[in-house]
């Protein structure tokens, strides 16, 4: 049987009894997927398209913006502004929210995105991605513009989440709350075709992902977890572990969805500061991971229950194999 397209998958979802995917949401996801095709095209041009390198600007995160951070941000805004499905958007690359301009009809959803995740990898041709999260606007906002507070909903309120990964293949990994499905871009015909799903995180795989250069900032619990795995067969666990770190959360999370293991970007134990953004990175990835049978905590508590207090709030992230996440999060004795 031929592989169903993303459109076919979404229409089937829409027609399911008790569907979690009404037509408006389906059309919004299709628009995002179309924008990701354009981003993919821009990235693939590389030096030939004058899309590599940095700008002089910094984003609200205090990061130097790559050209592609801004190109992808603008592509997502342009693609999603006029379709009538959204009340507003928010992005890692924009200090303030982006309400839908009055010249366009407004819809009932909010879109939050990390336009290019792993952008330090763009110039060296490693995998990068686009992460997105969809919320319902708290009430139909036809009478007023959306406000920042409308976006500050805990992750368990997300109605859909996903990412595109621009790697050896271009993939879209998506959930509308009914499992996680993978679509591969067939570039010749411009169509996303389902190539895997529902994804289930393999358990018991001995692989972890962490930026070792930050070890002096780890809590004793994180230090112990990593130290025991580095000791491997010569330590208390008696078995070897492997380590991978790509500096693209999309790539690391995708590996975990397909191959198992655990991803850690804990907060700095000394001052409580974290790197990854709750609304654009941690929440959508946590929804995908939970939908695939995994777990996601901030090192102690479920990420999807975190109450956001700011648009660009950061949070510690431990996600993947539920057994490993439980060990790190102090919910299980290390065995």
The three-class DSSP label of residue 332 is coil
Name the binder of 123 from ligand AHG, Mn ion, none, CB < 5-8 A by kind. none
211 in a labelled binding site? yes
Which tokens go with 72? Answer: 């992808």
93 versus 182: smaller Cβ distance to ligand AHG: 93
90 versus 176: smaller Cβ distance to ligand AHG: 90
177 in a labelled binding site? no
The least distance separating Mn ion from the CB of residue 114, rounded to whole angstroms, comes to 4
Name the binder of 248 from ligand AHG, Mn ion, none, CB < 5-8 A by kind. ligand AHG
Q: Which residue number is nearest to ligand AHG in terms of Cβ?
A: 249
The least distance separating ligand AHG from the CB of residue 178, rounded to whole angstroms, comes to 26
State which of residues 26, 28, 76, 117 lies at the interface with Mn ion (CB under 5 A). Answer: 117
Q: Nearest Cα to 21, choosing from 200, 174, 151? A: 174
91 in a labelled binding site? no
**Dist CA 5 CA 17 (whole Å):** 21
Residues whose CB falls within 8 Å of the CB of residue 96, separated by 6 or more in sequence, listed in order:
148, 311
92 in a labelled binding site? yes
Residue 200 near residue 293, CB atoms below 8 Å? yes
The least distance separating ligand AHG from the CB of residue 219, rounded to whole angstroms, comes to 17
275 in a labelled binding site? yes
- Alpha-helical (H) ranges within 56-208 are 67-81, 148-151
> Which residues within the stretch 30-89 sit at the binding site for Mn ion (CB under 5 A)?
63
Which tokens go with 63? Answer: 């990061």
The three-class DSSP label of residue 263 is strand
53 in a labelled binding site? no
Bridge partners, residue 109, by sequence: 86, 136
117 versus 321: smaller Cβ distance to ligand AHG: 117
Q: Which residues in this chain contact ligand AHG in the complex, by CB under 6 A?
A: 63, 92, 114, 117-119, 211, 247-249, 265, 275
Q: Which residue number is nearest to Mn ion in terms of Cβ?
A: 117
Radius of gyration of the chain (CA): 19
The least distance separating Mn ion from the CB of residue 54, rounded to whole angstroms, comes to 11
Residue 262: count of CB within 10 angstroms of its CB: 28
286 in a labelled binding site? no
The least distance separating ligand AHG from the CB of residue 44, rounded to whole angstroms, comes to 18
**Dist CA 163 CA 166 (whole Å):** 10
Beta strands in 49-175 (DSSP E): 54-58, 64-66, 86-91, 98-99, 109-117, 128-136, 160-166, 170-175
Residues whose CB falls within 8 Å of the CB of residue 132, separated by 6 or more in sequence, listed in order:
32, 111, 112, 113, 114, 161, 162, 163, 284
Distances in Å between the alpha carbon of 113 and those of 202, 239, 259, 286, 309?
27, 39, 25, 14, 17
Determine if 114 is a binding residue for Mn ion (CB under 5 A). yes
137 versus 303: smaller Cβ distance to Mn ion: 303
The least distance separating ligand AHG from the CB of residue 278, rounded to whole angstroms, comes to 13
The least distance separating ligand AHG from the CB of residue 303, rounded to whole angstroms, comes to 15
Does the CA dihedral 224-218-215-286 come out positive or negative?
A: positive
Going by DSSP bridges, is the β-strand pair 98-99/86-91 parallel, antiparallel, or unpaired? antiparallel
244 versus 302: smaller Cβ distance to ligand AHG: 244
29 in a labelled binding site? no
Residue numbers in the known binding site for Mg(2+) are: 92, 114, 116-117, 281
Give the interface with Mn ion as residue ranges (CB under 5 A).
63, 92, 114, 116-117
Residue numbers in the known binding site are: 92, 114, 116-120, 211, 275, 281
Residue numbers in the known binding site for substrate are: 117-120, 211, 275
């Amino acid at each position: 049987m031929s592989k169903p397209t993303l459109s076919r998958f979404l229409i089937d979802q829409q027609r399911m009894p008790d569907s979690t995917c009404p037509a408006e949401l389906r059309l919004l996801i299709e628009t995002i997927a179309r924008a990701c095709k354009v981003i993919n095209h821009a990235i693939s041009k590389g030096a030939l398209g004058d899309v590599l390198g940095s700008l002089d600007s910094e984003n609200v995160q205090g990061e130097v913006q790559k050209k592609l951070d801004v190109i992808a941000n603008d592509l997502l805004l342009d693609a999603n502004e006029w379709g009538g499905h959204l009340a507003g958007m928010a992005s890692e690359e924009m200090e303030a929210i982006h309400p839908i301009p009055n010249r366009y009809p407004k819809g009932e959803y909010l879109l939050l995105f990390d336009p290019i995740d792993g952008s330090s990898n763009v110039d060296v041709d490693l995998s990068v991605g686009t992460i997105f999260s969809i919320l319902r606007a708290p009430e139909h906002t036809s009478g007023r513009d959306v406000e920042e507070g409308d976006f500050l909903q805990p992750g368990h309120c997300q109605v859909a989440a996903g990412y595109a990964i621009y790697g050896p293949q271009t993939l879209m990994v998506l959930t509308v709350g009914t499992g996680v499905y993978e679509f591969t871009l067939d570039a010749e015909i411009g169509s996303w075709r389902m190539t895997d799903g529902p994804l289930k995180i393999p358990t018991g795989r001995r692989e972890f992902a962490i930026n070792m250069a930050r070890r002096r900032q780890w809590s004793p619990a994180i230090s112990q977890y990593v130290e025991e795995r580095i000791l491997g067969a010569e330590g208390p666990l008696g078995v070897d572990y492997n380590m991978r770190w790509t500096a693209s959360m999309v790539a690391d999370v995708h590996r975990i969805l397909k191959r198992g293991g655990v991803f850690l970007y804990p907060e700095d134990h000394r001052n409580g500061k974290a790197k990854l953004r709750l609304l654009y990175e941690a929440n959508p990835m946590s929804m995908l991971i939970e939908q695939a049978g995994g777990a996601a905590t901030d090192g102690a508590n479920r990420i999807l229950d975190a109450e956001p207090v700011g648009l660009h709030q950061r949070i510690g992230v431990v996600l993947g194999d539920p057994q490993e996440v439980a060990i790190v999060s102090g919910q299980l004795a290390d065995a």
